[in-house]
Amino acid sequence: MAIEQTLAMIKPDATARDLTGKILARIEEEGFKIVAMKRLRLSKLQAEAFYAVHRERPFFGDLTEFMSSGPIVAICMEREEAIVKWREVMGATNPENAAEGTLRKLYALDVEKNSCHGSDAPETAAVEKAFFFSGIEML
Ligand code: IDP
Ligand code: MG
């Protein structure tokens, strides 16, 4: 099976509660190799650009406020079937629906402040990786 890359984020609710180390440890325990990583605070405009596909959704304003409210950690990482596997490890978007042991079940505060992000398809992974990292940073 081919190695695939995905883009993960540790969201502001999780960096604020000092969960960065726990989430990074889980990433490695689940067999992902970290390829590139940076911690930064998104501006509102940058958060709006990242979540542009959700522009028409009712939660877009709140979501981009939240995502620009504190530091995030962006991670490009790889393993076999990385995209689907990372979404499994994160669990459902709403922690109320997330399976036992998933990151969102463990750490999310609510459907918005749900601690982590993961790309949902190869096409979005490519766009999201390029949003944070240049080609030479992802070798
Ligand atoms: P995902 O992160 O599981 O892929 P998406 O549907 O792509 O979920 O939504 C992106 C992000 O928007 C979610 O992770 C969450 O932070 C936020 N979000 C999604 N649905 C809601 C909602 O119904 N209310 C508030 N925020 C939401
Ligand atoms: Mg999504």
How far is it, in rounded angstroms, from Cα 68 to Cα 89?
A: 24
Active-site residue (options: 117, 118, 128, 129)? 117
Do you know the residue count of the chain?
Answer: 139
> Domain spanning 3-137: which superfamily?
Nucleoside diphosphate kinase-like domain (3.30.70.141)
* Helix, strand or coil, per DSSP, at residue 116: strand
Query: Which residues have a beta carbon within 5 Å of ligand 2, which is an ion?
Result: 120
Domain ranges of the chain: 3-137
pLDDT tens for the 139 residues of the chain, in order: 799 999 999 999 999 999 999 999 999 999 999 999 999 999 999 999 999 999 999 999 999 999 999 999 999 999 999 999 999 999 999 999 999 999 999 999 999 999 999 999 999 999 999 999 999 999 9
Cα 87 to ligand 2 centroid, rounded to whole Å: 9
Neighbouring CB atoms inside 10 A of 124's CB total 15
Instruction: Establish whether 117 is a catalytic residue.
Output: yes
pTM for this entry:
0.98
The CA dihedral of 35, 32, 63, 93, to the nearest 10 degrees, is: 160
